Structure 1
Amino acid sequence: MKVTVNVDCTPEEARSFLGLPDVQPLQEAVMAQMQERMMSSLKSMDPEVLLRTWGPMGLNNLEQIQKFFFSQFPAGGMTGGGAAKK
């Protein structure tokens, strides 16, 4: 024997019927705090601030990083690899 019961109620009504606590005020407080933290952290994502943080020596530091990257590639990769040599 198969019995199907359909209940039409709102989430608030279901919570109160089952005796579950209402966590909506807590959720709103947590979400407000998360939003505040995210907005304050967006200020540190400003490109100018990031460059000042990452590159204390200014453009000289970027040039050093570029030289380091280029020094990691083999010399054959710079000439085109399979190109015919004179």
Structure 2
Amino acid sequence: MKINVTFDMTPDEFRQVLGLPDVKTLQQEIFNQMVEKMQAGEEGYDPLSLYQPMMKEGMNAMGQFQEMMFSMMSGTKSDKSDS
């Protein structure tokens, strides 16, 4: 038996249904800060420095997810203790 369900939603509506946060204002603030610093010609300004904290956390989360999936596939438990 095969059942197909179709939802006609906008991305914003889908995000709300899943309970995901609206990060549009955060993204706009970060973009505005980048534009201000670029226009001011701030010496030594690195646009990547604004995203660095978020990127590090994202990469850590991805690594932890991969470790979990590998341990589930191999049937072993991770040696690391969760804190």
Scaled to the shorter chain, the TM-score interval is 0.3 to 0.5
Rg larger in 1 or in 2? 1
Q: Which has the higher contact order (CA 8 A, sep 6+)?
A: 2
TM-score (norm 1): 0.41
TM-score (norm 2): 0.42
